[in-house]
Amino acid sequence: MEKVCERQNLQAALKRVRQNAGSPGIDGMTVEELPNHLRVHWPLLREKLLAGQYQPQPVKRVAIPKPGGGERELGIPTVLDRFIQQALLQVLQPQFDPTFSDASYGFRPGRSAHDAVRRAQAYVQEGRSFVVDIDLEKFFDRVNHDILMGRLAKRIADRRVLRLIRRYLNAGVLADGVVIERGEGTPQGGPLSPLLANVLLDEIDKELERRGHAFVRYADDLNVYVRTQRSGERVMTSLRKLFGKLKLRVNETKSKVRRATASKFLGFSFWVAAGRTIRRRVAPQAIERMKERVRDMTRRSAGRSLAQMCKPLGKYLTGWKGYFRLAETPGVFADIDGWIRHRLRAVQLKHWKNGHVVYRELIARGVHPDEARRVAINRRRWWRTSKVALNKALPNERFRRLGVPSLAS
């Protein structure tokens, strides 16, 4: 705990919390207000931490939509508790991380989702053409506190640290003005939760290593690569038992043994190119989710100008492109580029309101009068009409200037 409270460690924790930003917890304190709060209250807070008496506040429940439907509940700690958790993480991570499995990639320094995807691709390329795709049922909500604390107690000698982690696990959830006590689970939203998840699941990793399996794990997303369907079924049966010992449940609906090329992992899937080479692509489900988001951001009835629409759209697409740049299918990105610009041209066409305005604007942009007249007459058929003359009137360069990146470039 003395290391947690060292000035240099605290400064680094404060910097990280401010970089991560995020919404306030139940006390309403913002990230911007935290430094002033610490200047006044840190001496007392430090005294409580060193004495093992600090009591975290309940987390705020926030529901966010899941890609496949339904909602995922996040527990947002207060900014102060995020700061203390981050300070704890910076002391504990260097102790635990070097002992984790080499096949574990989630929330670990110097490792990324792209590294995990490349490793999975290598396994498929080796001829492991079946995958045991494991989905855990509400993993972060089902973490058993006693089992997790038992694993931590084997590695952490400072009882104050253990008590503080236990209090973070037991901190209630504020929902509809009522604090609900929590007997299991670790809230998604706190800096410490990913490390605690890795501590618990490392036991599964070590057992898979002992049995000689080829696998990749990213947080609670686990894929084991095998050569036959029959081998996969045996692995699935044994994993159910292993997770059961940790009081975790495999989601039987989403967990399957299937062809590796028919599965997805971290938003990517694999396909067989010429010469039996395994290539990476964006999983179809990820493309459809992206298109749903773009449709929502480019609704033609949203009452925003094209420039106002393009600013958040460009930010989203830049992030999407940064993550999926690993895909080896440039033709798919070019097709999506065309689809996005088609939507934007249809938006602009509707914003021009009536046929007279459409005709005038197209002429001003160099469209032939006959073509401009045809578009103006059929202006209500937005999607079909926008594909004709607007490519010339609204070239791709205009959208680039408005901040919409090309995914294929």
Instruction: Find the mean pLDDT for residues 68-83.
Output: 82
Is the per-residue pLDDT at 255 higher than 90?
yes
Instruction: Find the mean pLDDT for residues 66-92.
Output: 86
Residues 6+ apart with CB under 8 A from 230: none
Is the per-residue pLDDT at 388 higher than 70?
no
* Model confidence pLDDT, tens digit, residues 220-254: 999 999 999 999 999 999 999 999 999 999 999 99
pLDDT of 67 reads 64
- Pick from 23-27, 108-112, 289-293, 357-361: least confident: 357-361
pLDDT of 380 reads 64
* Model confidence pLDDT, tens digit, residues 281-299: 999 999 999 999 999 999 8
Pairing between β-strand 256-259 and β-strand 130-135 as defined by DSSP bridges: antiparallel
Q: Considering the entire predicted model, what is its pTM?
A: 0.88
pLDDT of 218 reads 97
Instruction: Find the mean pLDDT for residues 143-170.
Output: 95
* Model confidence pLDDT, tens digit, residues 183-199: 778 877 889 999 999 99
Residue owning tokens 């506040």: 57
pLDDT of 156 reads 96
Is the per-residue pLDDT at 382 higher than 60?
no
pLDDT of 245 reads 95
151 or 180, higher pLDDT: 151
Report the percentage of the chain scoring pLDDT > 90. Answer: 71
**Cα 163 to the chain's mean position, in Å?**
30
Report the range out of 71-75, 146-150, 303-307 with the highest average pLDDT. Answer: 146-150
Comparing C-alpha atoms, which of 356, 348, 334 is closest to residue 390? 348
373 or 282, higher pLDDT: 282
91 or 344, higher pLDDT: 91
- Pick from 42-46, 48-52, 374-378, 381-385: least confident: 381-385
Mean predicted lDDT score pLDDT of the chain: 91
pLDDT of 386 reads 59
Instruction: Find the mean pLDDT for residues 113-127.
Output: 97
Comparing C-alpha atoms, which of 47, 43, 50, 41 is closest to residue 80? 41
d(C-alpha 285, C-alpha 107), whole Å: 23
378 or 137, higher pLDDT: 137
Is the per-residue pLDDT at 212 higher than 70?
yes
b/e for 317-335, b at 16 or more Cβ within 10 A? beebbebbebbbbeebbee
359 or 178, higher pLDDT: 359
pLDDT of 68 reads 60
Is the per-residue pLDDT at 9 higher than 70?
yes
* Model confidence pLDDT, tens digit, residues 328-339: 998 999 999 999
232 or 379, higher pLDDT: 232
pLDDT of 351 reads 79
pLDDT of 246 reads 96
d(C-alpha 55, C-alpha 97), whole Å: 27
Residues 6+ apart with CB under 8 A from 376: 355, 356, 358, 359, 362
* Model confidence pLDDT, tens digit, residues 15-73: 999 999 889 999 999 999 999 999 999 999 999 999 999 999 999 888 777 666 666 77
386 or 327, higher pLDDT: 327
In 3-state terms the chain splits into helix, strand, coil percentages (rounded to 5) of: 55, 15, 30
Q: For residue 393, what pLDDT band results from cuts at 50, 70 and 90? A: confident
Q: Are 135 and 255 in contact (CB under 8 A)?
A: yes
